[in-house]
Amino acid sequence: MIKALKEGASYSQRDTLEILTEFSSFKDRVIKKFKDLAKELEGKPNEHDLWVNLFMISCDYAEEQNNKRQKEEKDKDKDKDSVQKVS
């Protein structure tokens, strides 16, 4: 997605809203996780947990995106199959 944005691809308002919604959702999760983490680390000089949690958040986000792409591809394949059967 980012590559396409950098290349200047045009997007409809719906595509733009989907991108912003995904980012907002991710941002909200990160903020919540860091607030929880800040409470855990209060008074403790432990940077390791911070980086581990950041890594876990990014892995979760990447996994969600991958699952979403796979689902979209399956849906497209189903649509193609149904169109071919009708023809």
pLDDT at position 26: 83
pLDDT at position 3: 54
pLDDT at position 42: 74
pLDDT at position 32: 85
The number of distinct structural domains making up the chain is 1
CA 8 to each of CA 1, 15, 17, 32: distance values in angstroms, whole numbers, following the listed order: 11, 14, 17, 32
Which structural domain range is residue 37 located in? 2-86
The whole model's pTM is what? Answer: 0.42
pLDDT < 70 stretches in the chain:
1-11, 44-46, 85-87
Q: Which amino acid is at 59?
A: C
